[in-house]
Amino acid sequence: MSRTARRGIERPPAFIYREQRSGLLRRKSESLALFCDEIPLQRLADSFGTPLYVYSATAIRERLQIFRHAFRRVPHTICYSVKANSSLGILRLIGAAGCGFDVVSGGEMERVLRVDRCAAKRVVFSGVGKTSEEMTAALKVRILLFNVESESELWALAECAARSKEKARIALRVNPDVPANTHPYISTGLQQHKFGVPIGEARKLYAQAAGNRYLEVAGVSVHIGSQISEVDPFSAAMERVADLVRELRRDGHRIDYIDAGGGLGIAYDQSESDDFEVSAGEYAEGLLRPLRGLRVHLLLEPGRAIVGPAGALLTHVLYRKTNKDKKFVVVDAAMNDFLRPSLYEAYHEIVPLRFRKQDALEKVDVVGPVCESGDFFARDRALPVTSEGDVFAILDAGAYGMALASNYNTRPRPAEVLVDGGSVRVIRRRETISDLLRGES
């Protein structure tokens, strides 16, 4: 494979093909091996089994630094979106980099607190269905901000705050009615979506909130969706938010924060451009242009953009089969391990851990063992001819991979390992059948 061709399916700095020498005389191999940081992925598959999630600490740190640099000219806090990947090892790595967290459940908040109790002051709590128990727990640890999504939630939060004798710092999540060119399941900024309050009704709710002694108006929040690759929708939403902030300040409210949400997409397809430094810079410019002169602290909620390309799912080829003209490669990972292709028909690059320049290509479906026709990772995909026992890497699986995994078909969830340069650490052991049955009677 030429260097140019390899570049299309590599995700540097995380996943790169390298020549691997073997034997006493360190002879040059005819094949290239896929590495994560300094570790060959085949070694990880042999040591920890498959399916196996592998993450690059180097890639996560690099992408955080690029994102932080893009917004360097304004006061800001990166509140990593925990729903993208909530593994404690990943949260600890991101927290150590000085980031905050965006949570959408009490369980996610507890994960953050398990990593660092002091991180509560950098937590924003979003989501349309916060329970009284969740809000009370968040008040107790004094999180940074509640992103309130409805009038009913506002008054439920006020009651929780009164009982707790704690003041709740709030931002209303406004729905700007801005379309985003993304999958309909992850678009959130239109009036027909369940998220936020209509932006035209926000001033009335802010006025009512300001009259409650247990609510502290502090910001405005917006989030229009996920996996958005164009800057214009972000800019349009931020222009509407900026206009609202000016109105609220004229009404006498102190607005210190604008939570711009997340949603910046990544390039899953090798044919797409994947210069994260460029896309992060364009994203920052698109958000900041409408906010000039407002003097606010910007909260940012990237998730996929930080961890997506930093992860891969390794899976063994179990069987090959042919139904007339249709070829199938059956692997040991399934839709319960990685749901995105089945749920969204999402495209993910699939590459062998060892690549030989002379390998021919064949068109196959890559499928899992779950009893659903929707259990697939690729359809009619041109891949190098593979043998039973070979291992594939499904790339860009660091976001919404393990976070969406289930035990469907009573299948234990995969292990997860974090690679940091030349070191490897298991951050979640592989589940066993005993783990699955422990809570049942």
Q: Which residues are catalytic?
A: 371
DSSP conformation letters of 154-170: HHHHHHHHHHHT-PEEE
> Which region, left, alpha or beta, applies to residue 400 given φ > 0 means left and ψ of -120 to 50 means alpha?
left
Q: Hey, how many other C-beta atoms are within 10 angstroms of the C-beta on 436? A: 14
70 φ/ψ angles, rounded to the nearest 5 degrees: -65, -30
Q: At what angle do helices 232-250 and 276-288 cross, to 10 degrees?
A: 30
Name the percent of the chain in helix, strand, coil, to the closest 5: 35, 30, 35
- For strand 52-56 and strand 76-81, is the pairing parallel, antiparallel, or unpaired? unpaired
DSSP conformation letters of 169-216: EEEEEEE-----SS-GGGB--STTSSSSEEGGGHHHHHHHHHT-TTEE
Q: Which token pair is 229?
A: 């690759």
Helix (H, G, I), strand (E, B) or coil at 275: coil
Q: Find all residues with CB under 8 Å of 230, minimum gap 6, and list them.
A: 181
CA distances for 229 relative to 58, 161, 180, 419, angstroms: 24, 39, 9, 28
